[in-house]
């Protein structure tokens, strides 16, 4: 998105010409068609335009309604994780995973973070992750049991799916719940086995474990405008107060959109491509 940042509009005050805003141009499902932001000019519903505080960079502001909002909704809305509880998450080194760690630390939630490579363990611990499990050389279920003890873990978020998602479900205590928000294991896969989450029937029936999905676009389509604005305002405050740190985007002029797409598809690039125009770049991006 080329639009900027988000915060709660001041009551009874309208937008001013020249004011810096973000266009919440998220394609909500279900919902009306919304024009995208790969363009220099945009006609937008003023109810979808929200002012941006001056100290928030363009790069941070334009990402508010995606990864930081996803992290907040997963932790505080979808699972309602309470202070002191354990939260198990896969792909802890991803952008959302890192934001979840930061948010959990702020809220007093303990995290068990799953990574694929041993060299990622210390990095996640340094970020604030309480425990880290490396699937390269550790058994996920065994390590969760060792960490959480007899009480176990009842809440988890997963963006890998496939057999990793299934192992997360198996590792949970009875009555546990997994919210799946991504399927990294299925990326460019054609093998049907990679496109499923194999669950044990007894876990679903006798242990009443649940696996359900979350898609941000559907949330935007079903949440009320007030709820959406409330969540976005909370995200804006968390980022503005530096509770959540968003990686700076890598700027691309719109004419180089093919390069931007290739950059977004490349693994482990550590930043999001950010479309900019000559008169709209952050000073740090020049």
Q: What is the pLDDT of residues 178-187, one digit of tens each?
A: 999 999 888 7
Peptide bond into 30 cis (omega under 30): yes
pLDDT at 186: 85
Model pTM? 0.88
Transcribe 215-283 into DSSP letters.
-HHHHHHHS-HHHHHHHHHHHHHHHHTTSS-PPPPEEEEGGGHHHHHHHHHSTT--S-EEEE-TTS--G
pLDDT at 141: 95
Q: Is the pLDDT of residue 4 over 90?
A: no
pLDDT at 6: 37
Of 57-66, 91-100, 110-119, 126-135, the range with the lowest mean pLDDT is 57-66
183 and 162 in contact (C-beta within 8 Å)? Answer: yes
- Per-residue pLDDT band at 51 (split at 50, 70, 90): confident
Q: What is the distance of C-alpha 106 from the center of its chain? A: 16
Token output for 6: 């988000």
Token output for 20: 């810096």
Calculate mean pLDDT across residues 168-183.
Answer: 96
Q: Is the pLDDT of residue 197 over 60?
A: yes
pLDDT at 168: 97
* Spatial separation of the C-alpha atoms in residues 102 and 95, rounded to whole Å: 11
Per-chain mean pLDDT for the chain: 87
* Spatial separation of the C-alpha atoms in residues 26 and 126, rounded to whole Å: 33
pLDDT at 2: 36
Transcribe the chain into DSSP letters.
-------PPPTT----TT--EEE-----SSS-----SSSS-----GGGEEE--TTS-HHHHTTTTTHHHHHHIIIIIIS-PPTT-EEEES-TTSHHHHHHHHHHHHHT-EEEEEES-GGGHHHHHHHT-SEEEETTTS-HHHHHHHHHGGG---EEEESS-HHHHHHHHHHSPTT-EEEE---GGGTT---GGGG-----HHHHHTS--EEEE--HHHHHHHS-HHHHHHHHHHHHHHHHTTSS-PPPPEEEEGGGHHHHHHHHHSTT--S-EEEE-TTS--GGG-
pLDDT at 13: 53
Q: Quick count: other Cβ atoms within 10 Å of Cβ 257?
A: 13
Q: Quick count: other Cβ atoms within 10 Å of Cβ 39?
A: 11
pLDDT at 37: 67
What is the per-residue pLDDT across 209-244, written as a single tens digit (0 to 9) for each? 999 999 999 998 898 878 888 898 899 899 999 999
pLDDT at 279: 58
* Percent of the chain scoring above 70 in pLDDT: 90
* Percent of the chain scoring above 90 in pLDDT: 58
Q: Nearest Cα to 5, choosing from 282, 222, 251?
A: 282
- Of residues 43 and 257, more confidence is placed in 257
Q: Quick count: other Cβ atoms within 10 Å of Cβ 136?
A: 12
- Of residues 59 and 286, more confidence is placed in 59
């Amino acid at each position: 998105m080329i639009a900027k940042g988000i915060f709660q509009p001041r009551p009874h005050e309208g937008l001013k010409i020249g004011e810096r805003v973000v266009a919440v141009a998220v394609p909500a499902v279900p919902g009306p068609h919304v024009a995208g932001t790969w363009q220099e000019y945009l006609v937008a519903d003023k109810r979808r335009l929200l002012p941006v505080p001056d100290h928030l960079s363009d790069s941070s502001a334009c990402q508010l309604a995606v990864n930081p909002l996803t992290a907040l909704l997963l932790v505080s809305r979808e699972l309602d994780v309470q202070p002191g509880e354990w939260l198990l998450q896969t792909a802890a080194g991803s952008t959302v995973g890192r934001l979840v760690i930061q948010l959990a630390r702020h809220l007093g939630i303990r995290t068990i973070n799953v990574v694929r490579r041993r060299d990622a363990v210390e990095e996640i611990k340094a970020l604030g992750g309480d425990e880290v499990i490396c699937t390269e050389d550790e058994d996920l279920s065994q390590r969760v049991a060792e960490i959480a003890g007899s009480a176990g873990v009842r809440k988890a978020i997963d963006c890998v799916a496939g057999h990793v998602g299934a192992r997360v479900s198996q590792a949970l205590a009875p009555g546990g719940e997994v919210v799946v928000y991504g399927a990294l294991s299925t990326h460019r896969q054609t093998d049907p086995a990679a496109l499923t989450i194999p669950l044990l029937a007894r876990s679903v029936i006798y242990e009443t474990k649940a696996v359900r999905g979350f898609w941000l676009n559907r949330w935007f389509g079903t949440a009320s405008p007030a709820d959406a604005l409330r969540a976005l305002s909370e995200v804006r405050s968390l980022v503005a107060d530096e509770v959540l740190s968003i990686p700076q985007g890598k700027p691309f002029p719109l004419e180089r959109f093919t390069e931007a797409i290739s950059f977004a598809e490349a693994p482990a690039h550590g930043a999001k491509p950010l479309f900019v125009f000559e008169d709209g770049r952050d000073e740090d991006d020049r």
